[in-house]
Amino acid sequence: MASNMGKKILVWFRNDLRLHDNEMLVEAVSKADEILPVYVFDPRHFEKTQYHTYKTGVTRTKFLIESVASLQQSLQAMGGNLLVLQGNPEEVLPALVVKYDIAEVYHHREVASEETAVSLRLEDALWKQKVNLKHFIGHTLYNKEDLPFPIKDIPDVFTQFKKKTERDAVVKPCFPTPVAINFVSLEDSGTIPEIGSLLQDSTATMLKIDTAFKGGEKEALAHLHEYLHAGEGIVLANATLKKHEIVSKLSAWLALGCLSPREVYWKMKDAEANYGVRPYFHQIVLGLLWRDYYRFMFKKYGNTFFKPQGFKKDGEPLALENTSALQHWKNGQTGQPLVDACMQELNTIGYINQVARQLVATYLVKELEVNWVLGAAYFEEQLIDYAPASNWGNWAAVAGVGNDQKLANNFDFEKLAKILDPKGVFAQVVRA
C-alpha cells in the first residue's frame, strides 16, 4: 500500500523469544514493509543485587544465550537475521531508530518494576524522536481484557480468581507463525556474547553447569510434544506416580517466552482429544493459571511483592543479614538431608519441582528464621525458569506475607517432606 511504502518496524524481542503465537511479530509483519528484529543483552540483568546475589546465574545465562541463538537461527532460515547487541535498550534502540530510519518500535510489556521502567525510559527517548513504542501483552494464558474483572478488582484469593476466570473467560487461539518476512538488510548482525563476558565470576560456577534443559523455541516445542504424547505411555506405565511427580518441566521455556502458554493449552487440548481427560493435562492448566494469577497480582500491586513485610501491616521483618545459616542453606549444607538434596539439585541444574521449592523455602523461613527476601533473591540467581512474579509471589506466600492469606497455612515442613519423599529415598542421595 502506498501509505506503507518503506515503513520499517523494529521488533524488540525480550521474554518472547519465539515465532509461534507472537502477536507483536504478526502485526509487525502485516504493518511494515520491512522489519528489524533485535535482541539486546542488558548488562543490568547480570549485576549483583543488594542481597549479595547475582540477578542471573550461570545456568539461566546459558539457557538465555541458547534461546537467543535459536531465534536467530529461525530468522536466518527465513532469509533474515536477529540483530544482537549489548547495552541499555533505552539507549541502544533509539540509536537504531536513527541508523535504520525506523518508523515504529514494537515490544511486549512486562509487569515487574525494573522491566516496566526500561519500557518507560525507552518510550520517552523515542517520543523525542517522534517514534511510537507499541506495547503488546502476550505473556499470559488469559488476556487481561478478557478477564471478567478489571485488574484492580481481580480477586486476591487464588481459588476465586481461578473459578471466575475459568467460568467467564476464554483462552484465545494462537496467532499463526509467519511464513514469510521482509527484513531490513543488515551489514552486521552483531555477536551473541559468551557466558564469561556477561557474568563477572563465571569460572567457578561454570563447573557446576549440568543441565538437561536447552534453550530455544524448537527445543520447547519438542519437549511439549514429548510430554503430551510420549508422556502418556510413561504415566500409564507408572500408575503409582504421585501428582507432584507428574510435572511438565516447561517453566524455563515459558519464562523466556520460547513457548507461549496458549500454545501449551491448545496442544494439551489436542492431546486430550486423542487420549481423553488425564490428570496431568489438568495439572498444566492449573500451573498456567497460577502463573497468570501472580502476573496479574503484580500488575495490581506492583512492588509490594518485593518488600520484606509484603502485605503484612504488623510485625517487624527479620534482618537482612548474610548469616552462616543462610550460606549453609544456599550450599545445601544445612544438615537436613532432604533440604540439602534439593538445594544441591537446584545449584546444579537450576530446577526443582514445586513441592521441593516450597519445602526449602519453608525451611529457610520457618526453621532457620531467615528473611524470605534473601531466599527469593537466591532463587532469582539460581533458577533456570526465574520469572519475577512467579518467584516473588510464591515466596511471599510461603513467608506468609502474600496477599492471599488462605495460602499461608499450606506450608508445613513435615507435611511437605512427606509428600516429596515419603520413603526418605531422595534424602539418601545427597551429593558429597
Ligand X SMILES: Cc1cc2nc3c(=O)[nH]c(=O)nc-3n(C[C@H](O)[C@H](O)[C@H](O)COP(=O)(O)OP(=O)(O)OC[C@H]3O[C@@H](n4cnc5c(N)ncnc54)[C@H](O)[C@@H]3O)c2cc1C
SS3 84: strand
Q: Are the CB atoms for 169 and 296 separated by under 8 Å?
A: no
35 binds ligand X (CB under 6 A): no
Rounded to an integer, what distance in angstroms lies between the CA atom of residue 339 and that of residue 29? Answer: 49
Task: Find the binder of ligand X among 102, 171, 258, 387 (CB under 6 A).
Answer: 387
DSSP string, 345-391: HHHHHS---HHHHHHHHHIIIIIS---HHHHHHHHHHH-TT--HHHH
CB of 101 to ligand X, least distance (A): 39
CA distances to 58, 93, 311, 335, 381 from 339, rounded to whole Å, are: 22, 44, 27, 8, 18
User: In the bound complex, what is the minimum distance in angstroms from residue 172's beta carbon to ligand X?
Assistant: 18
Residues in the chain: 432
Cβ–Cβ < 8 Å for 108, 137: yes
Distance CA 21, CA 415 (A): 40
Residue 126 or residue 365: which is nearer to ligand X going by CB? Answer: 365
411 counts as binding ligand X under rule CB under 6 A: no
Question: Taking CB under 6 A as the rule, does residue 394 contact ligand X?
Answer: yes
Which amino acid is residue 432, in one-letter code? A
CB of 190 to ligand X, least distance (A): 29
Task: Provide the minimum distance between the beta carbon of 259 and ligand X in the complex, in angstroms, as a whole number.
Answer: 9
* Residue 245 grid cell: 511427580
Residues 259, 221: contact at Cβ < 8 Å? yes
Nearest distance, CB of residue 378 and ligand X, angstroms: 10
Q: Which of 51, 290, 311, 426 binds ligand X (CB under 6 A)?
A: 290
CB of 167 to ligand X, least distance (A): 20
| Residue 288 touches ligand X, criterion: CB under 6 A | yes
Compare residues 81 and 251 and give the one whose CB is closer to ligand X.
251
Binding mask 349-378 for ligand X (x = CB under 6 A): ----xx--xx--x-----------------
For residues 106 and 274, what is the distance between their CA atoms, to the nearest angstrom?
Answer: 38
Residue 59 lies near ligand X (rule: CB under 6 A): no
Report which residue's Cβ sits closest to ligand X: 287
Give the number of residues in contact with ligand X, rule: CB under 6 A: 29
383 binds ligand X (CB under 6 A): yes
Of residues 398, 399, 401, 416, which one binds ligand X by CB under 6 A?
398
Nearest distance from C-beta of residue 298 to ligand X, angstroms: 11
Q: Does 131 bind ligand X (CB under 6 A)?
A: no
- Write out the binding residues for ligand X, residues 227-266 only, by CB under 6 A: 247-251, 254-255
Return the exposure string of 314-344: e unless at least 16 CB atoms fall within 10 Å of the residue's CB, then b. eeeeeebeeeeebebbbebebebbbbbbbbb
Task: Kindly tell me which of 8 and 295 has the beta carbon lying closer to ligand X.
Answer: 295
Closest separation in Å from C-beta 283 to ligand X = 5
Give 386's contacts (C-beta < 8 A, 6+ positions apart). Answer: 56, 60, 255, 379, 380
Candidates 119, 382, 390, 403: give the one binding ligand X (CB under 6 A). 390
397 burial level (CB within 10 Å; 0-12, 13-18, 19+): buried
Cα→Cα distances 124→35, 117, 135, 203, Å: 22, 11, 14, 38
Which CB atom, from 75 or from 416, has the smaller least distance to ligand X? 416
Binders of ligand X in range 268-287 (CB under 6 A): 283-284, 287
Kindly state the DSSP code that residue 302 receives in the 8-state scheme.
Answer: G
Q: How far apart are CA 379 and CA 342, in angstroms?
A: 12
Minimum CB distance to ligand X, residue 313 (Å): 23
- Candidate residues 41, 46, 363, 395; the one interacting with ligand X per rule CB under 6 A: 395
8 touches ligand X (CB under 6 A)? no
Shortest Cβ 290–ligand X spacing (Å): 4
Task: Return residues touching ligand X (CB under 6 A).
Answer: 247-251, 254-255, 283-284, 287-288, 290-291, 294, 353-354, 357-358, 361, 379, 383, 385-387, 390-391, 394-395, 398
